[in-house]
Amino acid sequence: MNVVVIGAQWGDEGKGKIVDYLANEAQIIVRFSGGANAGHTIVIGAEQYALHLIPSGILYLDKMVILGAGMVIDPVALFKEIKMLRDRGIDTTGRVFISDRAHIVLPRYIEIDKARDLARKKPIGTTGRGIGITYSMKSDRDGIRIADLDWKEKMDELDAADRDFLAPYVEQLKSMSIDLSSFLFHHKNSQTLFEGAQGTLLDLDLGTYPYVSSGMSCAAGAAIGGCVGPRNLDKVLGVFKAYSTRVGNGPFPSEFNLDAEDELCRFVRETGREYGVTTGRPRRCGYLDLVALRYACLTNSIDSLVMTHLDVYDTLDEIKACVAYRIGDKMVETFPASVEALNKAQPVLRAFPGWKKSLTNALTYEEFPIPAMEYIEFIERFCETPIDIVSVGYDRKETIIRKSPWTK
Ligand code: IMP
């Protein structure tokens, strides 16, 4: 069975924790897009791990993890991460594989990425990890793939600096390289989890272009970047936070207004630890945007939603969520493509009573206070999608499963 986990907002929804949790019942975890721009945090008891490239399932010692064809791999970041895991007692030997179709990030791409964003009149606020340049080299047909490391003519054509950079990594990368489609076909009776990075609204096609990343962070990306046909994806889970965040620039209609809601913004940022795992930047914070969430459900065929960080709202008297936009004199209930329209959009907010009780110790959904259930059930009706998992803390055990995605 193949289950896809994607972000339903602007990334940082808590996918790392959810993938780690669901990986317990999987044998294989495939990350299908992005690169070292992502940052997935996993907390196990007193231990915290920040992963950028390696799929979150690596922390289970019996799982195989794969960096898929849709990814862009920075060898420096990859081997640093493998070393970090080994230093902390996580044996990665024979468990980390890379699709031979994945592209390689070169140091000069990182420099171009940073310089190009600085030179933009309106910078995107990239993570500066060379991601956009690697994907554009790919679409220009000038990229270097893992499979190319064996292609003498191609390697001979490279600039000396690129060849010298790659030289110490070539044998290690080749030893991890696999034909992903054959590998997954061979393991077709396994439970495989396809792990997305970033989120729908940062997807190159579906997101708030040009303020997006360059990979396919939508569910369709799992098929392409995971080397399987779309009909082989059995379920799609969309992860979202009880509020919204965004890192970098670009439209964010439900962002807290810092003149009026500065205190709420600080509260959410501090309580939710809303600082980038990759860059340390404070994340922009706002109300849950249900217009955007419904758009994510539609465009990804989300079968079930996973709500995270609900506990951040435990102490509030009242909670609000955006249910439409006011753009000029129009009420809009769908997610516009136009950045101009999104920038003008004023959130139409609906208020919900707070529950004023800690959710973290709840073991089942039935133990939630009624106002928390009402907030959840309103979202389900609005998005016409069930919320099957609710996360109420960072730890693996602070997760309420209403319905497991592994049941057919
Ligand atoms: P890039 O992916 O480094 O090119 O950055 C493009 C945009 O995507 C910037 O606004 C980044 O802040 C944002 N971005 C990239 N990766 C992540 C992520 O994992 N979480 C949140 N935002 C991200």
The amino acid that residue 107 corresponds to is P
Which residue's C-alpha comes closest to atom 10 of ligand 1?
248
Phi, psi of 264 (to 5 degrees): -65, -40
Proportion of the chain above pLDDT 70, given as a percent: 100
What value does the mean pLDDT of the chain take?
96
Average pLDDT over residues 9-18: 94
State the pLDDT confidence band at 43, using cuts at 50, 70 and 90: confident
pLDDT category of residue 340 using cuts at 50, 70 and 90: very high
* CA 66 – CA 186 distance, rounded (Å): 14
Q: How far is Cα 194 from Cα 28, in angstroms, rounded to an integer?
A: 9
Residue type, position 177, single letter: S
Asked if the bond preceding 230 is cis, omega within 30° of 0, the reply is no
Ligand 1 mean position to 247 CA, how many Å?
7
- Tell me, in angstroms, the distance from the centre of ligand 1 to residue 73's CA: 15
Q: Of 202, 245, 283, 284, which is best to mutate to test ligand 1, by the most ligand atoms within 8 angstroms of its C-beta?
A: 202
Catalytic machinery residues: 12, 40
In sequence order, which residues have a C-beta less than 8 Å from that of residue 27 and are 6 or more positions away? Answer: 62, 63, 64, 187, 190, 191, 192
Beta bridge partners of 238: 6, 305
| Amino acid type, 368 | F
Residue bearing the CA closest to ligand 1, atom 1: 126
> Average pLDDT for residues 199-214, to the nearest whole number?
98
- pLDDT band of residue 306 (cuts 50, 70, 90) is very high
126 CB within 6 A, ligand 1: yes
- Distance (Å) from CA 126 to ligand 1 centroid: 6
CB atoms closer than 10 angstroms to residue 98:
25
The number of the ligand 1 atom at minimal distance from the alpha carbon of 283 is: 21
Q: How many CA atoms lie within 13 A of 6 on its CB side?
A: 36
267 by Cβ neighbours in 10 Å (0-12 / 13-18 / 19+) ranks as middle
What pLDDT does 230 receive? 97
Ligand 1 centroid–CA 75 distance in Å is 19
Residue 60, φ and ψ in degrees, nearest 5: -90, 125
pLDDT at 15: 93
* Mean local confidence (pLDDT), 350-371: 95
DSSP code string of 19-41: HHHHHTT-SEEEE-SB-TT--EE
Q: Whose CA is nearest to atom 2 of ligand 1?
A: 213
Question: pLDDT (tens digit, 9 = 90+) per residue, 234-269?
Answer: 999 999 999 999 999 999 999 999 999 999 999 999
Q: What is the mean pLDDT of residues 376-387?
A: 98
The predicted pLDDT at position 39 comes to 85
pLDDT the model gives residue 384: 98
Distance 213 CA to ligand 1 centre (A): 5
Instruction: Please say if the pLDDT value at position 361 is more than 90.
Output: no
Cβ–ligand 1 contact at 15 (below 6 Å): no
pLDDT value of position 27: 97
Residue type, 98: I
Q: Is the CB of 196 under 6 A from ligand 1?
A: no
Q: Is the pLDDT of residue 174 over 80?
A: yes
Q: Return the pLDDT at 46.
A: 87
pLDDT, tens only, 179-190: 999 999 999 999
Does the CB atom of residue 124 touch ligand 1 within 6 A?
yes
In the three-class reduction of DSSP (H, G, I as helix; E, B as strand; rest coil), residue 401 is classed as: strand
C-alpha to C-alpha distance for 202 and 331, rounded to whole angstroms:
24
Query: Running DSSP on this structure, what letter comes out for residue 395?
Result: B
What the chain holds in terms of domains, given with CATH numbers, is 2-237 (3.40.440.10), 240-401 (3.90.170.10)
pLDDT at residue 398 greater than cutoff 80: yes
User: Residue 37: CB within 6 Å of ligand 1?
Assistant: yes
Tens of pLDDT, residue by residue over 133-171, are: 999 999 999 999 999 999 999 999 999 999 999 999 999
User: Does residue 244 line the site of ligand 1, with CB under 6 A?
Assistant: no
Q: Does the beta carbon of 221 lie inside 6 Å of ligand 1?
A: no
Does ligand 1 lie within 6 Å of residue 3's CB atom? no
Helices marked H in 281-401? 290-300, 339-344, 370-383
Give the residues across from 306 on adjacent strands: 239, 389
CB atoms within 10 A of CB 115: 11
pTM above 0.75, yes or no: yes
* 108 Cβ contact list (under 8 Å, min separation 6): 161, 162
Residue with CA nearest ligand 1 atom 20: 11
- Please tell me the predicted confidence (pLDDT) of residue 42: 85
Looking from the CA of residue 250, the nearest atom of ligand 1 is 10
pLDDT band at 192 (very low <50, low <70, confident <90, very high): very high
Which segment of 36-40, 81-85, 253-257, 333-337 scores lowest on mean pLDDT?
Answer: 36-40
Dmax (CA) for the chain in angstroms is 66
Residue 131 near ligand 1, beta carbon < 6 Å: yes
Sign, CA dihedral 188-191-194-200, equals: positive
**Across 199-207, average pLDDT:** 98
What is the number of other CB atoms lying within 10 angstroms of the CB of residue 269? 18
- Strands 64-67 and 96-99 come out as parallel
At 17, the amino acid letter reads K
- How many Å lie between the centroid of ligand 1 and the Cα of residue 158? 29
